[in-house]
A = this chain, B = another copy of it.
Amino acid sequence: VNVATLRQQFGSVSRQRRLAAGLSQEELADRAGLHRTYISLLERGQRTPSIEVVRQLANGLDTTMTSLVGDLEAKLD
């Protein structure tokens, strides 16, 4: 697994979780304390998030970092 695949799969997980929560990119950005532009780049696999960003996203999605990373790892297997 290279870093581009990891980024793309994390973006895909983030997008799926956001849509499942019924949130727009702007709503998630507000809840997570991130910029809407950053959410957009992340979902398109154009940013590699730090664990701080993973934590902010988990907070914004009312889930845990462990749950997000578990979804990511399931996609990578």
Interface residues of A (CB under 8 A from B): 1, 3, 6-7, 10, 48-52, 54-55, 64-66, 69-70, 72-73
Q: List 14 A-B contacts (CB under 8 A).
A: A1-B55, A3-B52, A6-B51, A6-B55, A10-B51, A49-B50, A51-B69, A54-B69, A65-B69, A65-B73, A66-B66, A66-B70, A66-B73, A69-B69
Residues on the B chain within 8 Å of A48, using CB: 50-52
Q: Are A51 and B52 in contact (CB under 8 A)?
A: no
Q: Which residues of B contact A54 (CB under 8 A)?
A: 51, 69
Q: Is the CB of A64 within 8 A of B55?
A: no
Given contacts A10-B51, A48-B52, A65-B73, 12 further A-B pairs with CB under 8 A are A1-B55, A3-B52, A6-B52, A48-B50, A50-B50, A50-B51, A51-B69, A54-B69, A64-B73, A65-B69, A65-B72, A66-B73
